[in-house]
C-alpha cells in the first residue's frame, strides 16, 4: 500500500476542457471542473486553459474546494535555438507556480513537435534530434534545473508523443545528458502509446524512479492505438477517437508502477490525466472511476 503521508492525488483538467482541442469541453466551466475534481476525491490539479490567471483568484477558488496546484505544462524550444525566450518564459511560469505553492514544473521540448499538427503520429514527421540539437537541449534544461532548484522546486521533462523525446531510447539520451536536478515526469500513457507494450511502461518507471518528480497516471485502449496506426491518425485525432482513458479503464497494468513507487518511497503527486471527449466520457464519472481504481490498488 502506498503512503498517504507522502503521496497526494490529483487530476488534470484535460478530461473537462482540452487546451489543444478547445472544442472539446467548451461548455464546461472552470468552477464545474474543479468542483467535480473535489467531489471525486482529488486534492490537486494542474493548470487548464479556463483557470484564472491571477494567483490570488485561483488560490481562493481552489482553497474553497480543498484543492491545490501541483504542476503546470511548460513548452521549451531549446532545439530550435530559442534559449533566451524559453528561459524568460520559464522564469515567469516559476513565479506563478511558486505563488501557487507548487513544487514541480513539467517541461516538454516542442522544437519541431507534431503533437498538434495534422500528421500521422506514427509517421516520419516526428522530430529526431541531431547531436547539435541534443546539446542545445541539455544546456538549456540544465539551466532550467538550476533556476527551479534555487526556488526549492523541481524541473521535470514530460516525455510525449510527437516530440523528440518519446521513445525509451530518446528518454535515455535525455536523462544521461542532463544533470541530476533535471527530473522526469513519468507518463504511463505516453510510453505505452509510443511502444505498445507493458514492458516499456514497467521498465521506464523502474529505471528512473530515483529521478521521477511527478507521475501521470493515464491508460490506453490497445485497440484504439492499433487503429491510430492503421488509419494514420494524428495525435489529436487519436485523442478524439478515445485512445486515452483513466487508469483501470484501458489495457495498462498499473501494479508494477505502484509497487515501484512504494518500494522506493516516492514522495510527490500522482495525477490522473486522460484526455478524452467529455461529451462521450463524462468527466465526473471517469474521475470517480479513476479514484476508485487507485483506492483499490494502493489504499490511498
Confidence band of 53 (pLDDT split at 50, 70, 90)? very high
pLDDT value, residue 60: 98
pLDDT value, residue 214: 98
Rounded average pLDDT over 44-63: 97
pLDDT, the chain, mean? 97
Ranges of beta strands (E only) in the chain are 7-11, 44-46, 68-71, 73-76, 104-109, 154-158, 182-187, 212-217, 219-220, 244-245, 268-272
Q: Is residue 2 part of a domain?
A: no
Contacts 24+ apart (CB under 8 A), 291-294: 291/9, 291/40, 291/41, 291/42, 292/248, 293/246, 293/247, 293/248, 293/249, 294/9, 294/217, 294/247, 294/248, 294/270
Q: Is residue 50 part of a domain?
A: yes
pTM: 0.98
Q: What is the DSSP letter of 230?
A: H
Domain of 138, in residue numbers: 7-298
Q: How many structural domains is the chain composed of? A: 1
pLDDT value, residue 120: 98
pLDDT value, residue 45: 98
Per cent of the chain over pLDDT 70 is 100
Question: Which residues 6+ apart lie within 8 Å of 215 measured at CB?
Answer: 185, 186, 188, 257, 261, 266, 268, 269, 270, 271
Return the C-alpha cell found at 13: 483538467
What is the Cα–Cα distance from 236 to 118, expressed in whole angstroms? 8
Rounded average pLDDT over 173-178: 98
pLDDT in tens, 260-298: 999 999 999 999 999 999 999 999 999 999 999 999 999
Confidence band of 147 (pLDDT split at 50, 70, 90)? very high
The kind and range of the H/E element at 169 are helix 168-177
Q: What is the DSSP letter of 74?
A: E
Q: Is residue 52 part of a domain?
A: yes
Length of the chain: 300
Q: Is residue 1 part of a domain?
A: no
Question: Which CATH number do you get for residue 228?
Answer: 3.20.20.150
CB-based contact 256:202 (threshold 8 Å): yes
Confidence band of 44 (pLDDT split at 50, 70, 90)? very high
Q: Is residue 220 part of a domain?
A: yes
Rounded average pLDDT over 235-242: 97
Amino acid at each position: 500500500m502506498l503512503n498517504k503521508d507522502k503521496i497526494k492525488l490529483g487530476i488534470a483538467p484535460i478530461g473537462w476542457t482540452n487546451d489543444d482541442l478547445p472544442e472539446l469541453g467548451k461548455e464546461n466551466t472552470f468552477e464545474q471542473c474543479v468542483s467535480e475534481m473535489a467531489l471525486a476525491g482529488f486534492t490537486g490539479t494542474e493548470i487548464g486553459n479556463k483557470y484564472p490567471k491571477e494567483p490570488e483568484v485561483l488560490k481562493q477558488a481552489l482553497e474553497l474546494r480543498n484543492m491545490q496546484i501541483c504542476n503546470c505544462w511548460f513548452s521549451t524550444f531549446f532545439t530550435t535555438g530559442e534559449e533566451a525566450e524559453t528561459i524568460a518564459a520559464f522564469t515567469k511560469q516559476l513565479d506563478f507556480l511558486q505563488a501557487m505553492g507548487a513544487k514541480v514544473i513539467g517541461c516538454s521540448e516542442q522544437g519541431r513537435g507534431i503533437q498538434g499538427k495534422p500528421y500521422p503520429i506514427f509517421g516520419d514527421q516526428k522530430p529526431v534530434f541531431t547531436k547539435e540539437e541534443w546539446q542545445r537541449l541539455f544546456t538549456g534544461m540544465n539551466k532550467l534545473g538550476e533556476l527551479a532548484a534555487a526556488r526549492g522546486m523541481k524541473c521535470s521533462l514530460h516525455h510525449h508523443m510527437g516530440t523528440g523525446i518519446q521513445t525509451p531510447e530518446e528518454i535515455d539520451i535525455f536523462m544521461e545528458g542532463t544533470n541530476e536536478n533535471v527530473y522526469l515526469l513519468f507518463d504511463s500513457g505516453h510510453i505505452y502509446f509510443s511502444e505498445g507494450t507493458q514492458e516499456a511502461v514497467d521498465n521506464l518507471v523502474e529505471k528512473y524512479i530515483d529521478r521521477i518528480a511527478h507521475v501521470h497516471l493515464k491508460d490506453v485502449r490497445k485497440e484504439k492505438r492499433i487503429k491510430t496506426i492503421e488509419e494514420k491518425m494524428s495525435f489529436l485525432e487519436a485523442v478524439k477517437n478515445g485512445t486515452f482513458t483513466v487508469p483501470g479503464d484501458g489495457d495498462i497494468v498499473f501494479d508494477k508502477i505502484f509497487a515501484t513507487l512504494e518500494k522506493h518511497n516516492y514522495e510527490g503527486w500522482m495525477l490522473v490525466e486522460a484526455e478524452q471527449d467529455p461529451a462521450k466520457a463524462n468527466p465526473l464519472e471517469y474521475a470517480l472511476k479513476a479514484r476508485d481504481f487507485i483506492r483499490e490498488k494502493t489504499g490511498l
